[in-house]
Amino acid sequence: MPTAIITGITGQDGSYLAEFLLAKGYEVIGMVRRSSTVTFQRIKQIQDDITIIQGDLHDQSSLVDVIERYRPQEVYNLAAQSFVPTSWNQPVLTGEVTALGVTRLLEAIRLINPETRFYQASSSEMFGKVREVPQSESTPFYPRSPYGVAKVYAHWITVNYRESYDLFAVSGLLFNHGSPRRGLEFVERKICHGVARIKLGLTDELRLGNLDSRRDWGFAGDYVEAMWLMLQRDAAEDYVIGTGVTHSVRELCELAFSHVGLDYKDYVVQDPQFYRPAEVDILVADPSKAIKDLNWEPKIGFDGLVQMMVDEDLKRLALEID
């Protein structure tokens, strides 16, 4: 039975990846940081099937301990300060966790168990002010936030450890992906959750920022399969993962509201507090390398994702107010 360690297992992607690996017969070890409150909502359904161990990307010795104790075949580094606006408020913390945390983990692997295969959760935010459309593995980076800058560092340190030490270390350049488990602060969940609250009469407005930015949104459950496929290859290479289709935040609003028979113009209020100091205007993936090498394709598109998220939030909220 292969062993995999997932950092960030309590996050959206960590929970889907853990379920995916369990179904493949892996022993799954989830590294979680200490908190005074329990953060296991997304993994409560599999808690008896996985092992939870404490560790923090800030703390080198905790990472050494995790690798030493389990000597995993695969490590998936999903942990990060992942919310872009927070990266302007907490740029140093974002750099410590999202950038330097990766070096700490790679060092632990290099020193203790260099046979371990390593996946780094890189991001389309690295393309930022895009140099070409669509974005592929060879598109130059131009990050627009401290988060994006930290992810560029994390990407290059992963490539560098592969080239310097011959580690099997890969970087997955994933475009936006949501799900009913997405954090409430990210725009697609904020909109779908807001639509459900409005439909149920719990509120009568939804405050958003820039409605014109465009993203390539997919379903998280599809994307964790791509992470695993990257680690099953003979050679370590980096891959862009996305749907190849882009939509504006406004289009997302139109679709989510119309799914429950409402018009977004009656409810959405633009609020300057949600605008960013520097924006990423358009992202759209060219996933052709992944389609060819990994035989990977997204199963759920934009419409299916948005409808699923609205329906799940309606169901959940209806139960809560019942």
Catalytic positions:
123, 125, 147
243 contacts ligand NDP (rule: CB under 6 A) = no
CA distances to 94, 127, 168 from 150, in Å: 7, 12, 21
Backbone angles phi and psi of 24, in degrees to 5: -90, 0
Strands of 18-116 (E only): list them: 27-32, 51-54, 74-77
| Distance between CA atoms of residues 149 and 34, nearest Å | 26
Q: Does 125 bind ligand GDR (CB under 6 A)?
A: yes
Question: Closer CB to ligand NDP, residue 91 or residue 262?
Answer: 91
Q: Number of residues in contact with ligand GDR, rule: CB under 6 A?
A: 21
Kindly indicate which of the ranges 7-15, 230-238, 248-256, 272-280 contains the residues binding ligand NDP, using the contact rule CB under 6 A: 7-15
Q: Is 184 in the site for ligand GDR (CB under 6 A)?
A: no
67 binds ligand GDR (CB under 6 A): no
How many CB atoms lie under 10 A from the CB of residue 180? 20
The residue within the footprint of ligand NDP, chosen from 87, 94, 139, 176 (CB under 6 A), is 176
**Per-state percent for the chain, helix, strand, coil, to nearest 5:** 45, 15, 35
**Residue 166: left if φ>0, alpha if ψ -120 to 50, beta else—which one?**
left
Binding mask 95-114 for ligand GDR (x = CB under 6 A): --------------------
Q: Nearer Cβ to ligand GDR, position 50 or 226? A: 226
Considering only the stretches 106-114, 118-126, 129-137, 286-294, report the one whose residues sit in contact with ligand GDR under the rule CB under 6 A.
118-126
Sole residue written with tokens 């974002």: 94
Which of 67, 109, 187, 306 binds ligand GDR (CB under 6 A)? It is 187
Q: Applying CB under 6 A, which of residues 4, 5, 14, 148 lies at the interface with ligand NDP?
A: 14
Distance, CA of 164 to CA of 161 (rounded, Å): 5
Q: Does 186 interact with ligand GDR (rule: CB under 6 A)? A: yes
The residues, any chain, with a CB within 8 Å of residue 106's CB and separated by 6 or more, are 118, 157, 158, 161, 167, 169
CA atoms within 13 A of residue 214's CA, in its CB half-sphere: 13
Q: Is 246 in the site for ligand NDP (CB under 6 A)?
A: no
Tell me: does residue 87 bind ligand GDR (CB under 6 A): no
Binding test (CB under 6 A) with ligand NDP, winner from 5, 13, 222, 286 = 13
**Which residue's CB is nearer to ligand GDR, number 110 or number 189?**
189
CA atoms within 13 A on the CB side of 150: 27
Nearest distance from C-beta of residue 84 to ligand GDR, angstroms = 4
Q: Which stretch binds ligand GDR (CB under 6 A): 30-38, 129-137, 182-190, 297-305?
A: 182-190
* 181 and 220 Cβ atoms separated by less than 8 Å: yes
Q: Which residues of 256-291 are buried (b: 16+ CB within 10 A; e: fewer)?
A: bbebeeeebeebbeeeeeeeeeebbebbbbbbebbe
Residues that bind ligand NDP (CB under 6 A): 7-8, 10-14, 33, 35, 39, 56-58, 78-82, 97, 121, 123, 174, 176-177, 183
